[in-house]
Amino acid sequence: MEIAELVTELVEKYRGEAAPLVEVGDPVLRAVAEPVNGQVEPELLRDLVEILFATMHAAPGVGVAAPQIGIPLRMAVLGDSALVAEEVATARGRRPLPEFTIINPAYTADGGDIGFYEGCLSMPGYQAVVSRPESIVATYQDVDGVQHTERLSGWPARIFQHETDHLHGIIYIDKADTRSVTTNDHLRERWAQPTPAEAARALGFSLP
């Protein structure tokens, strides 16, 4: 089925509502997504963005990429209210990230790596430590086709990288230290500290 047909079918079924999330094991999460280059009409693209945001809010999450709802297009939505303790926010560089859409995104490292626990809506129940550049230069188009270049750091940079990776068929666990893998319950009960340093010592993995 052509991309435009896939999007039309999804929009007709879920217009304005959350769509079901695709979970690991589905090939769409391992495919390299197609660049957005006019194959979807502007209004249909806006409808898709609306569904992506509804899905992100319903999960809830801080980002959803189009492949996570079965659409292999290079686009995602992001947004983070950052409602966490001040100590956690400071340690992780987690600050509010206004909601926005990224189309055909890319990034380059603009700083050294730092490791924190991440999870994924398409792989529920688990989290693992991923080392990523703490600061990046991000490029993307918005839903109107306007090109943007921004420097992002801390948690906003991590979210942008995580969602952009989805568009290359990469899931966070591919980049994680597998010794750090934990259930969400253990993360809440044992490893909820602002940084994963204690988990690293206890579970035997290294941090940058």
> pLDDT of the chain along its 208 residues, tens only?
799 999 999 999 999 999 999 999 999 999 999 999 999 999 999 999 999 999 999 999 999 999 999 999 999 999 999 889 999 999 999 999 999 999 999 999 998 999 999 999 999 999 999 999 999 999 999 999 999 999 999 999 999 999 999 999 999 999 999 999 999 999 999 999 999 999 999 999 999 9
How many whole angstroms separate alpha carbon 101 and alpha carbon 143? 7
For the question of residue 86 being annotated catalytic, the response is no
For 71, list phi and psi in degrees, rounded to 5: -110, 110
Full 3-state SS string of 83-121: CCCHHHHHHHCCCCEEEEEEEEEEEEECCCEEEEEECCC
Which of 29, 37, 71 is CA-nearest to residue 51? Answer: 71
Helix axes 42-58, 3-14, angle to 10 degrees: 50
Q: How many CB atoms lie within 10 A of CB 153?
A: 16
How many whole angstroms separate alpha carbon 79 and alpha carbon 62? 5
Q: List the catalytic residue out of 87, 150, 163, 198.
A: 163
Which domains are seen in the chain, by residue range?
A: 3-203 (3.90.45.10)
